[in-house]
């Protein structure tokens, strides 16, 4: 908005009074200044434009809108939450485009929004980027998973390794089990493959960790490609081999002994 006065100071004061704002909350641009005439008398008027400064969160919201346009995603950003806990909600035609696999796109946008919103800030303010309450629904899922694996680790007396997660999701697991009386948690690995380990208090020191994030289908598919259970050492594969004689059966085999022992490990 533009305001006029005999001097720039007067025009500025008038504008701030009308907008009920302080000078540090606005951007003041001088459009026109009065000129000095004969004997120093001022001619003309002063015109200033006063623009309310955008908050960091508003700047972040506008930045996210621009990113969405560049990515050609049909979505828009809206502000919600509070001043202390701001949230940028994304309204999208296809929500999966802005959420991504397990929130990866949301996490990336949230990192960008936080960087923009905190430019010049002495104290970091967290900005959450969400879409159709994905954050809340994902948190409920992870809390439920944490307690199920807590019970599993306790029953098996083995460490349980979860799949790699973002810092936000790992924090949910740690918080969910923070007051557990049967297990503790820790994070291992390096980003972006860092993961949570659930450790039972009554851990069997000789047991191997249970990998809850492992894709167990890989082993099954490998066996199927090799002709069924047991892979290339299955019964069908032995049909082309020569029959084992009684004499050979009596001969000790170190290879066979090793395989037999390996099953007990």
* CATH numbers and ranges of domains, the chain: 2-52 (no CATH), 56-132 (3.30.300.20), 142-211 (3.30.1370.50)
Predicted TM-score (pTM) above 0.75? no
- Alpha-carbon distances, residue 77 vs 1, 61, 84 (angstroms): 26, 6, 18
Q: What is the pLDDT along the chain (265 residues), one digit of tens a residue?
A: 889 988 889 989 988 898 888 888 788 999 988 877 666 676 778 899 988 877 889 999 999 999 999 999 999 999 998 888 999 999 999 999 999 988 999 999 999 999 999 988 888 999 999 999 999 999 999 999 999 999 999 999 999 999 999 998 999 999 999 999 999 999 999 998 999 999 999 999 999 999 987 644 443 444 444 444 444 434 444 444 455 454 444 444 333 333 333 333 2
Task: Say whether the peptide bond before residue 192 is cis (omega within 30 degrees of 0).
Answer: yes
194 phi/psi in degrees, rounded to 5: -75, 140
Find out whether 114 and 127 touch, Cβ atoms under 8 Å: yes
Closest to 2 (Cα-Cα) out of 29, 22, 26, 20: 29
Phi and psi (nearest 5°) for 26? Answer: -135, 165
75 with 92: CB under 8 angstroms? yes
Task: State the angle between helix axes of 134-156 and 167-176 in degrees (0 to 180), rounded to the nearest 10.
Answer: 50
Is 48 within 8 Å of 29 (Cβ atoms)?
yes
Task: Say what the pLDDT of residue 39 is.
Answer: 64
**Count of residues in the chain:** 265
Helix axes 56-70, 104-117, angle to 10 degrees: 140
CA 57 to CA 251: how far, in whole Å?
A: 79
Instruction: Give the per-residue pLDDT at 251.
Output: 41
Picking from 85, 86, 20, the residue whose alpha carbon sits closest to that of residue 59 is 86
Distance CA 217, CA 222 (A): 9
Q: Are 3 and 11 in contact (CB under 8 A)?
A: yes
């Amino acid at each position: 908005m533009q305001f006029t006065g005999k001097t720039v100071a007067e025009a500025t004061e008038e504008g701030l009074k009308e907008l009920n704002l302080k000078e540090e909350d606005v951007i003041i641009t001088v459009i026109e200044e009065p000129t000095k005439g004969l004997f120093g008398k001022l001619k003309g008027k002063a015109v200033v434009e006063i623009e309310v400064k955008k908050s960091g969160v508003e700047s972040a919201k506008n930045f996210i809108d621009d990113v969405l346009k560049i990515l050609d995603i049909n979505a828009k950003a809206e502000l919600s939450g509070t001043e202390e806990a701001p949230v940028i909600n994304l309204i999208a035609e296809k929500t999966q485009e802005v959420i991504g696999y397990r929130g990866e796109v949301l996490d990336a946008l949230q990192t960008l929004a936080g960087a923009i919103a905190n430019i010049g800030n002495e104290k970091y303010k967290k900005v959450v980027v969400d879409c159709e309450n994905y954050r809340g629904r994902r948190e409920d899922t992870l809390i439920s998973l944490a307690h199920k694996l807590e019970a599993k680790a306790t029953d098996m007396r083995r460490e349980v390794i979860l799949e790699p997660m973002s810092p936000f999701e790992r924090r949910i697991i740690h918080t969910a089990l923070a007051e557990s009386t049967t297990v503790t948690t820790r994070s291992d690995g390096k980003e972006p493959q860092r993961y949570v380990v659930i450790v039972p208090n009554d851990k069997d020191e000789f047991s191997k960790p249970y990998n809850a994030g492992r894709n167990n289908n890989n082993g099954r598919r490998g066996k199927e490609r090799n002709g069924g259970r047991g892979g290339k050492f299955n019964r069908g594969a032995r049909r082309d081999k020569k029959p084992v004689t009684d004499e050979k059966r009596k001969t000790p085999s170190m290879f066979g002994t090793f395989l037999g022992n390996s099953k007990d490990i």
